Amino acid sequence: MKRSKLSLFLLLLLVIAVLASPALQGKTGKPEPDRVIPGDYDVWSVDWAPDGRIAFSGKQEGESGTATRIWLYRPEQAKPVLWTGTGSLVDSSPKWAPDGSGVVMVRKTVPTPERREFTTGIWWKEYPSGAGLRLTSGPQDRDPDWAPSGETLVFVRGDGLYNSSLLTIQKNGLGLTTLVANVQGFIATPHWGKDDKIYYTLLRQRKTVVEVAGQRFECWGLDRGSIWVYDLRTGENRPFLDNGDDNRHPVLSPDGRYLAYISSNGQPPVEERVVRDRGSLFVYDLASGTRFRVWDGVSLNGGPPCWSPDGTKLAFFSFRDNRPAVWSLKWKEHAQAETTSR
């Protein structure tokens, strides 16, 4: 009887300990990331305004991908507010102006049986009036980002899958300038830093030879990503992070000291993780040269990381619950310094 009472007492203590432990603790004992947008939305990218308002590209769960629009949201709201309703156009990649006066975004024309062309252009949408202006005519313009001054934008102009250029344009749609022309590869997600440098992702072409029925064929695709930097002062264009890993989506912190990016560095074998989340979130200290691993299981696709206005949080894209979503965490609580040349 005494032994039975003792076992019951120990079991009760175990239950109390489990219930009393923090609900959001992961395997490391640190808080798990928070979902940025409510779970009944599929979210591809977010951007924080200086006042904390969030613009995101997404749709409600169950809707077709062509219903992707730009939404506005604050954590204290019950639900996001639909901000664009543009018929057959698909809206993505929102970026707040540095003063919070509006958003630039990519608008895509979806092919139809009558019109087979797939075109994209950069648009401006003023907040809160909603007044809009088309800044570029495409046909394959993408990934806009603001200069710190808020007067100019950098964006990518594609010419098919394997040719890209890096350009700038003023916020009134004038002054189109080419910085890097006709790169053989896929340029993506440029970021204009306070150091007068533009960091961007470059995926080169990759040739694979396959043999079918005794015949050899060349197949072309995109290789791993590398991070490049274009110096606006000197015009120098050089690789910043090209080390054999798949490195993508560089974004500087608001104070310009830290560079966040996604990399395949150190990830476990494919069978041990969700294949679509084969990257990790890293932060590189430009002042000290220290690299920090922040979080594993991050998608190399989707939107780039996003800093909170105060620089304490990082948001990242992931399929961790088998749907496209964006999660955030206080990055310094998870940062683990690693010894590396970069």
- pLDDT score for 81: 96
Q: Please, are residues 52 and 36 in contact by the beta-carbon 8 Å criterion?
A: no
Cis peptide before 309 (omega within 30 of 0): no
| Confidence check: pLDDT of 15 > 50 | no
- d(Cα 136, Cα 277) in Å, to the nearest integer? 33
Per-position DSSP letters for 78-119, written without gaps between them: SS-EE----TTEEEEEEEE-TTSSEEEEEEEE---SS----E
pLDDT of residue 205: 77
Q: What confidence tier does 118 reach under pLDDT thresholds 50, 70, 90?
A: confident
Q: Is the pLDDT of residue 231 over 70?
A: yes
Residues with Cβ within 8 Å of residue 286, at least 6 apart in sequence: 195, 256, 257, 258, 259
Residue 129: φ, ψ to 5°: -65, -30
SS3 category, 259:
strand
Pick the more confident residue, 184 or 272. Answer: 184
| Class of the CATH domain delimited by 24-139 | mainly beta
How large is the average pLDDT for residues 147-161? 94
- Of 127-131, 165-169, 249-253, 273-277, the range with the lowest mean pLDDT is 273-277
Q: What is the pLDDT of residue 267?
A: 67
State the distance between the two ends of the chain, measured CA to CA, in whole angstroms.
64
Task: Tell me the per-residue pLDDT of 287-339, one tens digit each, with 9 for 90 and over.
Answer: 999 999 999 999 999 999 999 999 999 999 999 988 999 999 999 999 999 97
CA-nearest of 113, 170, 163 to 144 is: 170
Write down the mean pLDDT value for the chain.
87
pTM of the model: 0.86
326 near 36, Cβ under 8 Å?
A: yes
182: pLDDT strictly greater than 80? yes
**Token pair recorded at residue 208:** 């694979």
Which residue shows structure tokens 């904390």? 52
Which residues on neighbouring strands pair with residue 317, listed in sequence order? Answer: 326
The DSSP-derived string for 278-331 is: -EEEEEEETTT--EEEEEEEE-SSSSPPEE-TTSSEEEEEE-TTSS-EEEEEEG
**pLDDT higher than 70, residue 268:** no
Cα–Cα distance for residue pair 332/295, rounded to 1 Å: 11
DSSP one-letter code for 51: T
Q: Check if the beta carbon of residue 149 is closer than 8 Å to that of residue 98.
A: yes
Can you read off the two tokens belonging to residue 160? Answer: 């098919």
Distance (Å, whole) CA 277 – CA 287? 29
Give the type of residue at 108. K
Q: Confirm if 310 and 51 have CB atoms less than 8 A apart.
A: no
d(CA 195, CA 255): 10
- Token code pair at residue 318: 């992931």
DSSP code of residue 50: T
Considering only CA atoms, which of 188, 189, 180, 185 is closest in space to residue 207? 185
Could you read off the pLDDT of 16-32 as tens digits, one per residue?
333 333 333 334 567 89
Average of per-residue pLDDT across 35-44 = 96
